[in-house]
């Protein structure tokens, strides 16, 4: 029997059956239609939102989940063509495997642009956030909360022009005891810029910050979230530019340019600050990292042109009261293999007492294998007598006055010598004939690469940079490396 070609009716039936089995992309172009599509979303479905301005009085709400293989994708049909205006953005509750992509959030600062409650594996990618600042309400623009949240990703977005208190991104958790923080989230390849005005004569905006990780009640959670490969530019807000109030977090491979304040390890333990570039450009009120708490590791970081002391090891305080949680003194913290260049306000301040309020001095600090070179204030200042520091194999050099190291220690602890730095690849780095080459001391086995991502063979070099001919993997980030247009195709 000869096979007959499929008839047109059969083909149409096949098409209909196919549509039922595989949810196709659907399109909507008014806020109410979009909400209906969200209400009926299925795994594998893409909801394409047509270009236009959508004025929301209530957030678009999603409680449905995709799967790892078949996420629910909510995206602007044309990248950046969807403007979310009005009073709210998205609220996802109990959702997982969802992607929010390509929007521009311009609504009033009354609710977060994206709020995730008990959500996992939600990706917020390639969006622009610049909420309308007319509503002076404390607000986080992306807020992750709920004790079941974790493993969400915020990547390749632009955040700009925040002027009202709160953070661009805040990660919280359960709102009732036992407190648990969202875990395993990743914030990467974002561009955070323009908090306040780029003007040293204007006051910085207190309470406005780029990122907050947790709160003091949740420090028992070893959260394991990562902030990496982000560019922070002209964020001239709170003294705690990034406020870490949790444990087990990593801040690495980011670039900070002209950002007021410090990356602050305020509460928590075992946090890691690795391989970041800090460029202060000698602007006002700019620091590097401030430390409270125990077990942190700070290594392979590069600091240049800070105007505040680049590194603060803070005292602890037992002060408690409504809303006041004790800050623990810096304890058992490694500051190793970092390079500090021309930090005019001083470089290492140890035993910082918060204007006298914090009494307990730091203990068990390891300050090893760092290069500190500069002029201006003393490079080191011990602010509280009794601060316990193990110094080992640091190189320090004050370009103006040899006496201004700030401490007098044996050469195996702090060697006062010019480290022969040269400028290359955007930073000051050692040359083959530098006295820093091959003379690092101590274990610190976790330091196996340098600030460039190059390997550190045995007999490691002092400072953030290992002198190496292997390819450089990590560079100071520029605008081209981050935000909505970077890494297209990933
Ligand atoms: Ca290197």
State yes or no: pLDDT of 211 exceeds 50.
yes
Q: CA 181 → CA 27, 144, 213, 261, distances in Å?
A: 36, 9, 9, 25
Contact 270, 239 (CB under 8 A): no
| Domains of the chain from N-terminus onward | 27-481 (2.160.20.10)
When pLDDT is cut at 50, 70 and 90, the band that residue 380 belongs to is very high
Tell me the C-alpha distance between 166 and 219, whole Å. Answer: 20
The per-residue pLDDT for 136 is: 76
- Separation of CA 257 and ligand 1 centre (Å): 21
Tell me the C-alpha distance between 211 and 132, whole Å. Answer: 19
18 vs 458, more confident: 458
The per-residue pLDDT for 322 is: 64
The per-residue pLDDT for 477 is: 98
The per-residue pLDDT for 417 is: 97
What phi and psi values does residue 422 have, to the nearest 5 degrees? Answer: -130, 155
- Separation of CA 472 and ligand 1 centre (Å): 7
Tell the burial category of 433 from Cβ atoms under 10 Å away from its Cβ (0-12, 13-18, 19+). exposed
Task: Indicate the pTM of the whole model.
Answer: 0.93
Tell me the C-alpha distance between 174 and 181, whole Å. Answer: 7
- Separation of CA 312 and ligand 1 centre (Å): 26
The per-residue pLDDT for 402 is: 85
- Separation of CA 439 and ligand 1 centre (Å): 15
CA angle 405, 407, 408 (to 5 degrees): 100
Tell the burial category of 199 from Cβ atoms under 10 Å away from its Cβ (0-12, 13-18, 19+). exposed
- Separation of CA 111 and ligand 1 centre (Å): 44
Q: Which tens digits make up the pLDDT trace of 285-318?
A: 999 999 999 999 999 999 999 999 999 999 998 7
Tell me the C-alpha distance between 468 and 300, whole Å. Answer: 15
Contact 227, 252 (CB under 8 A): yes
Q: Which tens digits make up the pLDDT trace of 322-360?
A: 666 788 999 999 999 999 999 999 999 999 999 988 999
When pLDDT is cut at 50, 70 and 90, the band that residue 197 belongs to is confident
Contacting residues for 353 by C-beta, under 8 A, at least 6 apart? 315, 359, 383, 384
Element (H or E) spanning 22, and its range?
A: none
Q: Are strands 380-382 and 286-291 parallel, antiparallel or unpaired?
A: unpaired
Contacting residues for 9 by C-beta, under 8 A, at least 6 apart? none
Q: Which tens digits make up the pLDDT trace of 146-184?
A: 999 999 999 999 999 999 999 999 999 998 888 899 999
- Separation of CA 108 and ligand 1 centre (Å): 46
When pLDDT is cut at 50, 70 and 90, the band that residue 219 belongs to is confident
Q: Which tens digits make up the pLDDT trace of 20-50?
A: 444 556 666 789 999 999 999 999 999 999 9
The per-residue pLDDT for 490 is: 62
Tell me the C-alpha distance between 426 and 451, whole Å. Answer: 12
- Separation of CA 473 and ligand 1 centre (Å): 10
Report residues near ion ligand 1: CB below 5 Å: 450, 452, 454, 465-466, 468
3-state secondary structure at position 405: helix
- Separation of CA 20 and ligand 1 centre (Å): 56
- Separation of CA 229 and ligand 1 centre (Å): 18
The per-residue pLDDT for 216 is: 83
State yes or no: pLDDT of 321 exceeds 70.
no
Determine the average pLDDT of the residues in 74-94. Answer: 96
As a whole number, the mean pLDDT across the chain is 92
- Separation of CA 452 and ligand 1 centre (Å): 5
Q: Which tens digits make up the pLDDT trace of 87-140?
A: 999 999 999 999 999 999 999 999 999 999 999 999 999 999 999 987 778 999
Determine the average pLDDT of the residues in 415-428. Answer: 96
- Separation of CA 342 and ligand 1 centre (Å): 20
The per-residue pLDDT for 14 is: 43
The per-residue pLDDT for 24 is: 53
- Separation of CA 5 and ligand 1 centre (Å): 67
């Amino acid at each position: 029997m000869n096979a007959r070609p499929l008839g047109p009716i059969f083909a149409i039936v096949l098409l209909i059956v196919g549509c039922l089995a595989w949810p196709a992309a659907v399109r909507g172009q008014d806020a109410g239609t979009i909400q209906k599509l969200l209400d009926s979303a299925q795994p594998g479905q893409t909801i394409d939102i047509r270009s236009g301005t959508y004025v929301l009085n209530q957030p678009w709400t999603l409680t449905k989940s995709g799967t790892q293989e078949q996420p629910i994708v909510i995206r602007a049909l044309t990248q950046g063509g969807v403007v979310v205006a009005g009073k709210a953005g998205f609220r996802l509750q109990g959702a997982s495997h969802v992607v929010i992509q390509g929007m521009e959030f311009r609504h009033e600062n009354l609710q977060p642009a994206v709020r995730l409650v008990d959500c996992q594996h939600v990706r917020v990618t390639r969006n622009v956030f610049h909420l309308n600042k007319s509503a002076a309400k404390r607000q986080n623009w992306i807020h992750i909360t709920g004790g079941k949240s974790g493993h969400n990703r915020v990547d390749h977005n632009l955040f700009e022009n925040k002027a009202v208190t709160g953070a661009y991104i805040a990660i919280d958790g359960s709102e009732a005891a036992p407190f648990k923080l969202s875990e395993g989230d990743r914030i990467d390849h974002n561009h955070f810029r323009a908090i306040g005005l780029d003007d040293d004569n204007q006051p910085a905006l207190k309470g406005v910050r780029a990122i907050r990780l947790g709160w003091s009640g949740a420090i028992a959670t070893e959260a394991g979230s990562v902030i990496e490969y982000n560019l922070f530019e002209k964020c001239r807000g709170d003294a705690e530019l990034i406020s870490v109030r949790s444990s087990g977090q990593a801040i690495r491979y980011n670039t900070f340019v002209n950002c007021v304040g410090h990356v602050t390890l305020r509460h928590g333990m075992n946090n890691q600050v690795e391989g970041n570039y800090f460029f202060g450009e000698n602007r006002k009120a700019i620091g590097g990292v401030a430390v409270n708490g125990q077990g942190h590791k700070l290594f392979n970081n590069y600091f240049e042109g800070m105007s505040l002391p680049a590194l603060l090891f803070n005292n602890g305080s037992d002060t408690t009261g409504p809303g006041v949680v004790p800050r623990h003194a810096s304890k058992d913290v490694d500051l190793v293999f970092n390079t500090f260049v021309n930090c005019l306000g001083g470089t290492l301040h140890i035993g910082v007492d918060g204007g006298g309020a914090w009494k307990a001095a730091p203990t068990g600090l390891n300050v090893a294998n760092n290069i500190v070179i500069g002029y201006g204030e003393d490079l080191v200042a011990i602010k509280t007598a009794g601060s316990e520091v193990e110094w080992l194999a640091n190189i320090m050099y004050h370009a103006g006055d040899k006496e201004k190291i700030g401490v007098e220690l044996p050469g195996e602890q702090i060697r006062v010598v010019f480290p022969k730095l040269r400028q290359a690849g955007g930073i000051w780095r050692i040359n083959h004939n530098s006295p820093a080459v091959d003379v690092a001391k101590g274990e610190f086995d976790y330091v196996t690469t340098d600030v460039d991502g190059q390997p550190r063979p045995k007999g490691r070099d002092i400072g953030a940079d290992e002198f190496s001919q292997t390819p450089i993997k990590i560079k100071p980030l520029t605008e081209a490396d981050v935000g909505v247009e970077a890494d297209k195709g990933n």
